[in-house]
Structures are given as structure tokens and as C-alpha cells.
Amino acid sequence: MIDPTSKPPGIPLIHALESNLFGAIFEFHKKVMALLRAANLPNDKLAVASERIDHLLRETTEEIKSIQDLNIQPRLDAMYEDVRRMVDELVALGSIRDQMEQIYSETPPGDILWNSETPPKALVELIEAGQVQPCKAIDLGCGAGNYAIYLAGLGFDVTGVDISPTAIALAEADAKRKSVACRFLVADILAGLPEITETFDFAYDWSLLHHVFPLDRKRYAETVHRLLVPGGKYLCVCFSEQDAGFGGTGHTRRTSLGTVLYFSSEDELRDLFAPEFDIRTLKTVPVEGKREPHLMNVAFMEKKLVSPKKRRSRRRT
């Protein structure tokens, strides 16, 4: 600690503090990296961990600098303990596939928080306004298939994809019961969907993107892009960072079901999609939910007719 009877702290103290800080933070960083390597977290959890560690480090560094306290080790030790607890929690969370399997197989469909046979207003409005007409469509993260079945009933040729085999079994059974023709497929969209080689006129993900963390989002956007024909339409709906649910603040939040989700800003979605899609509308609106409405980002876009990358390479040749 700084001796209060000593001369007022001047530049040498700040230098000492900064070099002390630098060395201690370097050591802290090494220990955290070893912890993360040993935990071998999948990418979505690694993204959660990195974001929280960055945040903790920034806060602690600012605090230490503002009080000019040279004895920073106890704070870094306490911070390391926080990080260790968080990593343990993340390890205990299990994979998204296991979590979704557990939810779909242990909860009656009517009690699953997002599962509703009534198609959401934002989707219905697009159809009723004629902005999307019956065509070849893909539902990414289709869950129990409600919206895929709704669209198929309107004459769309729909493929639904979900990571949970139980969700897909529910979707298939419901389509059969309603005598609606739909294709359903169990697959992890983050693996790029190599099993789907055809293209679609319309893609939508309703409440899927908040399961995809920043580290995976570029790859996800590339997959959506590959699946669409040029000019193909795309509706993306995910939780907004402005929503007050599940802890109320921050990008990463844990739900009552134990899932960890990423709440996005409009700017993040714009940065992610604008390079390859023309964004027609992007708004943050309350969307009906079973318990209460949630503020969600609703983005409707079209795949650019010519990819900017191709345009650049054409110009060069």
C-alpha cells in the first residue's frame, strides 16, 4: 500500500505502479491461459469466458490505477478465484446439444418457454405483406417445427434444421399429424451444414442467433449466405442487449433453464451482416413471449446480388 506519510505520489510512483501492474497482470494472464487450456471449453463457452475475463481485468486495472495501490496481488488473486469459479460453472454447463436435448425430452412441448404453435407477428406480417411469397425456405434452429409447418401449410417448400434430435422428432410427428410435407434434419448449424448442398429463396432463424457467440458468428453468417440464392431473403430474430430479461444487463446472460445466451446490439448485427446482405429493416421491438414480451432485434435482409468479394476480384481481372 502507499505510505500516506510519504511525499505526494508523482510520476515515479505511477511508473512503479504501471510496471508492477504490467508484471502482475502478465503472470495473471499466464495462469488464466493455463486454466482455460486445461478446461478445454468449446468455442461458445470460451467466448463467454473471454468476455467476462476482459471485463474483470478492465475494471480491476482502472480501480487499481485510480487508488494508486501498489499491492495489487491480493486483488489479482481474488480475480483469479472468480475466473476459476466461472470456468468451473461453464464446464458444468454441458454442450448446447445436451442442454437442448434435456429441455425437449423432459419438458412437455406446451411448457417449453419458446415453443408456440402460433406463428410470431413479425413472420406473419412479412408473409401477409407479400414480402416473402411461397418459395423454397430453410428454418435454422427450427425447434419443434411450428413455423416450418405453418409455412409449409401456406405452400412453402420447407426444410427445418435443429441440433436436437428430440426437437426434430417432435417436428416430424407434428407435420405428419397435420398432413403437411416438410423436411427436417438434425444438424449443428455451426458445423456449416455440409449435408445441405441446395440453395433456398428464404432463410430465417427465430431465436437461434442468441445461442451463437461472437466467435462463431462470422462462420454462421457465411453458412446463411451460402444457403441462399443471390437476392434470397433472410429474417433473423434474436434477443436485444436492451432487453431487461435474465439479469437485465450485458451481452452474456444465463437463463432460468441454465442456457447462456448472447444479447446483441443492432450495430453488432449490422457489422455482421451488412458486408454480404442488403439490410432492408433492422429494429429493436417487443416480441410476444409466453411469460412476457422481450425486446428483440428483428432484421430482414436480402443477400447481395453480387458478393463484394467477387466484385473486387472481377475488377482486378
Ligand X SMILES: C[S@@+](CC[C@H](N)C(=O)[O-])C[C@H]1O[C@@H](n2cnc3c(N)ncnc32)[C@H](O)[C@@H]1O
Confirm or reject binding of residue 148 to ligand X (CB under 6 A): no
Pick the closest to residue 69 from 2, 139, 153 (CA basis). 2
Confirm or reject binding of residue 253 to ligand X (CB under 6 A): no
Q: How many residues sit in the footprint of ligand X (CB under 6 A)?
A: 20
Q: Given the complex with ligand X, which of 190 and 299 has the nearer CB atom?
A: 190
Residue type (1 letter), 46:
L
Q: Given the complex with ligand X, which of 96 and 138 has the nearer CB atom?
A: 96
Give the Cβ contact number of residue 114 at 10 Å. 14
Fill in the per-residue mask, 79 to 108: x = in contact with ligand X (CB under 6 A), - = not in contact: -----------------x---x--------
Q: Which helix (H) or strand (E) holds 136?
A: strand 136-140
Q: Report the half-sphere exposure of 261 (CA within 13 A, side-chain side).
A: 24
Among the listed residues 156, 202, 206, 246, the single contact to ligand X using CB under 6 A: 206
Q: Given the complex with ligand X, which of 142 and 215 has the nearer CB atom?
A: 142
| CA 245/CA 295 separation, integer angstroms | 9
Min dist CB 195 to ligand X, Å, is 12
Min dist CB 14 to ligand X, Å, is 47
Give the Cβ contact number of residue 121 at 10 Å. 13
Min dist CB 232 to ligand X, Å, is 19
Min dist CB 64 to ligand X, Å, is 39
Question: Cα–Cα distances in Å, from 156 out to 11, 147, 168, 201?
Answer: 70, 11, 19, 10
Confirm or reject binding of residue 137 to ligand X (CB under 6 A): no
Confirm or reject binding of residue 245 to ligand X (CB under 6 A): no
Among the listed residues 52, 211, 253, 294, the single contact to ligand X using CB under 6 A: 211
Residue type (1 letter), 296:
M
Confirm or reject binding of residue 114 to ligand X (CB under 6 A): yes
Helix axes 121-128, 146-153, angle to 10 degrees: 20
Confirm or reject binding of residue 146 to ligand X (CB under 6 A): yes
Where in 154-193 is the site for ligand X (CB under 6 A)?
161-164, 167, 188-190
Confirm or reject binding of residue 115 to ligand X (CB under 6 A): yes
| CA 40/CA 42 separation, integer angstroms | 7
Confirm or reject binding of residue 240 to ligand X (CB under 6 A): no
Cβ density class 226-252: b for 16+ within 10 Å, e for less:
ebbeeebbbbbbbbbbebebbeeeebb
**Interface ranges with ligand X (CB under 6 A):** 96, 100, 114-115, 141-143, 146, 161-164, 167, 188-190, 206-208, 211
